[in-house]
Amino acid sequence: MLTAADLAAIWLTLKLATITTLLLLLIGTPIAWWLARTGSKLKGSVGAVVALPIVLPPTVLGFYLLLLMGPHGVVGQFTQWAGIGLLPFTFWGLVVSSVFYSMPFVVQPLQNAFEAIGERPFEVAASLRASPIDAFFSVAIPLAKPGFVTAAILGFSHTVGEFGVVLMIGGNIPGATRVVSVQIYDHVEALEYAQAHWLAGGMVAFSFLVLLTLYTLNPGRRAR
Q: Is 149 near other proteins (CB under 8 A)?
A: no
Of 127, 189, 194, 224, which lies in the binding site for other proteins, with binding defined by CB under 8 A?
A: 127
Closest listed residue to residue 171, CA positions, set 160, 183, 155: 183
Residue 192 beta carbon to other proteins: minimum distance, rounded to whole angstroms: 51
Spatial neighbors of 40 by CB under 8 A, at least 6 apart, are none
Residue 187 beta carbon to other proteins: minimum distance, rounded to whole angstroms: 47
Q: Is 121 near other proteins (CB under 8 A)?
A: yes
Spatial neighbors of 63 by CB under 8 A, at least 6 apart, are 168
Angle at the Cα of 165 (from 159 to 170), degrees rounded to 5? Answer: 100
Q: What's the Cα-to-Cα distance from 181 to each of 132, 190, 204, rounded to whole Å?
A: 43, 14, 12
Helix, strand, or coil here: 80?
helix
Residue 121 beta carbon to other proteins: minimum distance, rounded to whole angstroms: 7
In whole angstroms, what is the distance from residue 163 CA to residue 67 CA? 18
* Site residue total, other proteins (CB under 8 A): 19
Q: Is 216 near other proteins (CB under 8 A)?
A: no
* x-or-dash string of contact with other proteins, 129-148, rule CB under 8 A: xxxx-xx--xx--xx-x---
Phi first, then psi: give them for residue 87, nearest 5 degrees.
-85, -35
Residue 105 beta carbon to other proteins: minimum distance, rounded to whole angstroms: 25
Closer to other proteins by Cβ: residue 134 or 215: 134
Residue 44 beta carbon to other proteins: minimum distance, rounded to whole angstroms: 23
Closer to other proteins by Cβ: residue 122 or 198: 122
| Integer-rounded Cα radius of gyration of the chain | 20
Q: Is 123 near other proteins (CB under 8 A)?
A: yes
Point out which residues bind other proteins (CB under 8 A).
Answer: 120-121, 123-132, 134-135, 138-139, 142-143, 145
